[in-house]
Amino acid sequence: MRTRPLKVALLGCGVVGSEVARIMTTHADDLAARIGAPVELAGVAVRRPSKVREGIDPALVTTDATALVKRGDIDVVIEVIGGIEPARTLITTAFEHGASVVSANKALLAEDGATLYAAAERHGRDLYFEAAVAGAIPLIRPLRESLAGDKVNRVLGIVNGTTNFILDKMDTSGAGYTEALDEATALGYAEADPTADVEGFDAAAKAAILASIAFHTRVRLDDVHREGLTEVTAADIASAKRMGCTVKLLAICERAADGRSVTARVHPAMIPLSHPLASVREAYNAVFVESEAAGQLMFYGPGAGGAPTASAVLGDLVAVCRNKLAGATGPGESAYTQLPVSPMGEVVTRYHISLDVADKPGVLAQVATVFAEHGVSIDTVRQQGKDGEASLVVVTHRAPDAALSGTVEALRKLDTVRGVASIMRVEGE
Amino acid sequence: MRTRPLKVALLGCGVVGSEVARIMTTHADDLAARIGAPVELAGVAVRRPSKVREGIDPALVTTDATALVKRGDIDVVIEVIGGIEPARTLITTAFEHGASVVSANKALLAEDGATLYAAAERHGRDLYFEAAVAGAIPLIRPLRESLAGDKVNRVLGIVNGTTNFILDKMDTSGAGYTEALDEATALGYAEADPTADVEGFDAAAKAAILASIAFHTRVRLDDVHREGLTEVTAADIASAKRMGCTVKLLAICERAADGRSVTARVHPAMIPLSHPLASVREAYNAVFVESEAAGQLMFYGPGAGGAPTASAVLGDLVAVCRNKLAGATGPGESAYTQLPVSPMGEVVTRYHISLDVADKPGVLAQVATVFAEHGVSIDTVRQQGKDGEASLVVVTHRAPDAALSGTVEALRKLDTVRGVASIMRVEGE
pLDDT at A49: 86
Spatial distance between the Cα atoms of B100 and B94, rounded to a whole number of angstroms: 7
Residues of chain B contacting A331 with CB distance shorter than 8 Å? 322
| Cβ–Cβ gap A142/B138 under 8 Å | yes
Spatial distance between the Cα atoms of A319 and A321, rounded to a whole number of angstroms: 5
> Closest-CA residue in chain B for A131?
B146
Report, as residue numbers or ranges, the catalytic residues of A. 206
Contacts of residue A183, Cβ cutoff 8 Å, sequence gap at least 6:
A169, A175
Spatial distance between the Cα atoms of A220 and A105, rounded to a whole number of angstroms: 14
- In a 3-state reduction of DSSP, which class is residue A56? coil
Q: Which of A19, A27, A294 sits opposite B301 (nearest CB)?
A: A294
State residue B417 phi and psi, 5-degree precision.
-95, 110
| Cβ–Cβ gap A310/B293 under 8 Å | yes
Burial A382-404 (b: 16+ CB within 10 A, else e): eeeeeeeebbbbbbbeebbbebb
Locate the DSSP E strands across B194-237.
225-226
Positions at the binding site of A: 11-18, 106, 191
Residue B210: CATH number of its domain: 3.30.360.10
Residues of chain A contacting B327 with CB distance shorter than 8 Å? 327-328
Spatial distance between the Cα atoms of A298 and A301, rounded to a whole number of angstroms: 10
**Does B213 lie in the same domain as B160?**
yes
Instruction: Tell whether A104 is covered by a domain.
Output: yes
Question: For A305, which DSSP code?
Answer: S
Using pLDDT thresholds of 50, 70 and 90, give the confidence band for residue B144. Answer: very high
Residue B247 domain boundaries: 140-302
Instruction: Tell whether B334 is covered by a domain.
Output: no
Spatial distance between the Cα atoms of B201 and B27, rounded to a whole number of angstroms: 35
Q: Beta strands B6-11 and B76-79: pairing type?
A: parallel
Average pLDDT for chain B: 95
**Does A187 lie in the same domain as A277?**
yes
**Does A147 lie in the same domain as A130?**
no
State residue B128 phi and psi, 5-degree precision.
-120, 145
Please compute the mean of the pLDDT values over residues B193-215 and round it to a whole number: 97
Instruction: Tell whether A331 is covered by a domain.
Output: no
Residue B334: CB atoms within 10 Å: 18
pLDDT in single tens digits along all 429 residues of chain A: 788 999 999 999 999 999 999 999 999 999 999 999 999 999 999 999 888 788 899 999 999 999 999 999 999 999 999 999 999 999 999 999 999 999 999 999 999 999 999 999 999 999 999 999 999 999 999 999 999 999 999 999 999 999 999 999 999 999 999 999 999 999 999 999 999 999 999 999 999 999 999 999 999 999 999 999 999 999 999 999 998 999 999 999 999 999 999 999 999 999 999 888 998 999 999 999 999 999 999 999 998 899 999 999 999 999 999 999 999 999 999 999 999 999 999 999 999 999 999 988 889 999 999 999 999 999 999 988 777 788 999 999 999 999 999 999 999 999 999 999 989 999 987
**Does B316 lie in the same domain as B284?**
no
Residue B295 carries which side chain, given as an amino acid letter?
G
The total number of structural domains in chain B stands at 3
Is the alpha carbon torsion for A158, A161, A166, A168 positive or negative?
Answer: positive
pLDDT at B336: 97
pLDDT at A282: 92
Residue B354 carries which side chain, given as an amino acid letter?
S
Query: Helix A161-173 crosses helix A177-186 at what angle (to 10 degrees)?
Result: 120
**Does B273 lie in the same domain as B414?**
no
Question: CB burial class (10 A; 0-12, 13-18, 19+) of residue B126?
Answer: buried
**Does A104 lie in the same domain as A168?**
no
pLDDT at A55: 84
Q: Which of B30, B291, B318 sits opposite A151 (nearest CB)?
A: B30
| Whether residue B206 lies in the annotated active site | yes
Supply the ipTM of this predicted assembly.
0.94
Residue A411: CATH number of its domain: 3.30.70.260
Spatial distance between the Cα atoms of A359 and A297, rounded to a whole number of angstroms: 47
Q: Which of B33, B298, B327 sits opposite A300 (nearest CB)?
A: B298
Spatial distance between the Cα atoms of A377 and B306, rounded to a whole number of angstroms: 38
pLDDT tens readout for residues B348-370: 999 999 999 998 888 999 999 99
Q: How far is CA B370 from CA A224, B354, B396, B401, B402, in A?
A: 65, 15, 12, 15, 14
Residue A35: CB atoms within 10 Å: 23
**Does B276 lie in the same domain as B144?**
yes
> Closest-CA residue in chain A for B313?
A149
| Cβ–Cβ gap A328/B331 under 8 Å | no
Instruction: Tell whether B122 is covered by a domain.
Output: yes
Please compute the mean of the pLDDT values over residues B281-298 and round it to a whole number: 96
pLDDT at B35 over 90: yes
**Does A120 lie in the same domain as A169?**
no
**Does A123 lie in the same domain as A209?**
no
Range of lowest pLDDT (A242-251, B186-195, B334-343, B378-387): B378-387
pLDDT tens readout for residues B51-81: 878 889 999 999 999 999 999 999 999 999 9
**Does B279 lie in the same domain as B149?**
yes
pLDDT tens readout for residues B309-331: 999 999 999 999 999 999 999 99
Instruction: Tell whether B360 is covered by a domain.
Output: yes
pLDDT at B194 over 80: yes
Using pLDDT thresholds of 50, 70 and 90, give the confidence band for residue B14. Answer: very high
- Give B290's Cβ-side CA count (13 Å radius): 10
Spatial distance between the Cα atoms of B427 and A377, rounded to a whole number of angstroms: 48
pLDDT at B8 over 80: yes
**Does B129 lie in the same domain as B46?**
yes
User: Do residues B6 and B76 lie in contact, with contact meaning Cβ atoms separated by under 8 Å?
Assistant: yes
Q: Which of A23, A149, A308 sits opposite B31 (nearest CB)?
A: A149
Question: CB burial class (10 A; 0-12, 13-18, 19+) of residue B299?
Answer: buried
| Cβ–Cβ gap B293/A311 under 8 Å | yes
Instruction: Tell whether B362 is covered by a domain.
Output: yes
How many CB pairs (< 8 A) connect A and B? 189
| Cβ–Cβ gap B317/A146 under 8 Å | no
Question: For B387, which DSSP code?
Answer: T
| Cβ–Cβ gap A30/B130 under 8 Å | no
Residues of chain B contacting A149 with CB distance shorter than 8 Å? 23, 27, 31, 34, 310-311, 313-318
Residues of chain A contacting B146 with CB distance shorter than 8 Å? 130, 138, 141, 312, 315
Instruction: Tell whether A121 is covered by a domain.
Output: yes
Among A135, A157, A76, which residue's Cα sits nearest to residue A312?
A135
pLDDT at B259 over 90: yes
- In a 3-state reduction of DSSP, which class is residue B248? strand
Instruction: Tell whether B331 is covered by a domain.
Output: no
Residue A54: CB atoms within 10 Å: 7
Spatial distance between the Cα atoms of B62 and B84, rounded to a whole number of angstroms: 21
Burial B372-403 (b: 16+ CB within 10 A, else e): eebebeeeeeeeeeeeeebbbbbbbeebbbeb
**Does A218 lie in the same domain as A194?**
yes
CA distance B159 to chain A (A): 14
pLDDT at B93: 98
pLDDT at B289 over 90: yes
Residue A321: CATH number of its domain: 3.40.50.720
Using pLDDT thresholds of 50, 70 and 90, give the confidence band for residue B158. Answer: very high
Nearest 5 degrees, angle CA B412-CA B238-CA B232? Answer: 60
pLDDT at A383: 87
